[in-house]
């Protein structure tokens, strides 16, 4: 597979040697498991789900609450595919994948062949920090549920799951609310931007990603809200497969 990674950070499904590798970064409070489930239906790629500390299989590890710390830890422990690969990130995951891409460039390491970002405004746009990460657990879960939805009822009905989810969400909102975009040269890779037509993230905010790369940019909105990708998964996965479909592994030399 030509992939050497820390098993703590990357959870992989069955290998598909002929398919490009797609590293998926979860939304705020999310777990790698949701994106690993795509492996069955996303035939055009080999998904590798990124698991952050403090959730899922890493639930006992301390959470990370600053973007720079997260990016540094990821780059220190993860060696990405030697073959062409792509990043996909939804919501906060879009911001994380973008910053990791910029850090890879700064380190002189191979970049993704395509960046697919979803449900997040272009990072250079001004935003206000609203202190969500400072709320109590109950207030935090209620606020996020009202803003975005996406928290399953079985989680809200379980005090233990509520506590685990609130811990992850609080860390992720602190990353988001303390994040400050730093001006750099635009990326030079193609970027695909997805969003929901009924999401609070507007079409204009999605279009603004065009300013962050000199490569080709494609913007597409799907029916639905912030978690549109759960509402029409088949349509979204077809579009995602199309976005990464032009990425092909390098040919392997065979002996005569």
Whole-angstrom Cα distance, residue 225 to residue 227? 5
**Catalytic residue chosen out of the listed positions 91, 97, 136, 197:** 91
End-to-end CA distance of the chain: 22
Tokens of 6: 């820390």
CA 17, 18, 20, 22 dihedral sign is negative
**CB contact set of 108 (below 8 Å; sequence gap of 6+):** none
Whole-angstrom Cα distance, residue 24 to residue 26? 6
Q: Is 91 a catalytic residue?
A: yes
Whole-angstrom Cα distance, residue 236 to residue 118? 11
Q: What positions carry a catalytic annotation?
A: 91
């Amino acid at each position: 597979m030509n992939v050497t990674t820390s098993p703590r950070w990357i959870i992989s499904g069955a290998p598909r040697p002929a398919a490009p590798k797609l590293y998926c970064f979860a939304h705020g409070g999310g777990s790698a498991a949701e994106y690993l489930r795509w492996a069955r239906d996303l035939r055009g790629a080999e998904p590798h789900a990124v698991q952050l500390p403090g959730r899922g299989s890493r639930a006992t590890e301390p959470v990370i609450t600053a973007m720079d710390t997260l990016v540094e830890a990821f780059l220190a422990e993860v060696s990405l595919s030697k073959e062409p690969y792509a990043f996909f990130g939804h919501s906060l995951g879009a911001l994380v994948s973008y910053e990791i891409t910029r850090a890879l460039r700064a380190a002189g390491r191979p970049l993704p062949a395509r960046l697919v970002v979803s449900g997040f405004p272009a990072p250079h746009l001004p935003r206000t920090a609203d202190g969500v990460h400072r709320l109590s657990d109950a207030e935090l879960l209620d606020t996020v549920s009202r803003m975005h939805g996406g928290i399953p009822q079985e989680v809200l009905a379980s005090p233990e799951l509520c506590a685990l989810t609130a811990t992850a969400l609080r860390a992720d909102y602190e990353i988001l609310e303390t994040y400050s975009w730093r001006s750099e040269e635009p990326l030079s890779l193609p970027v695909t931007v997805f969003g929901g037509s009924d999401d609070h993230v507007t079409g204009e905010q999605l279009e603004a990603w065009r300013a962050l790369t000199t490569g080709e940019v494609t913007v597409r909105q799907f029916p639905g809200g912030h978690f549109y990708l759960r509402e029409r998964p088949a349509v979204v996965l077809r579009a995602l497969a199309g976005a990464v479909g032009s990425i092909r592994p390098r040919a392997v030399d065979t002996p005569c």
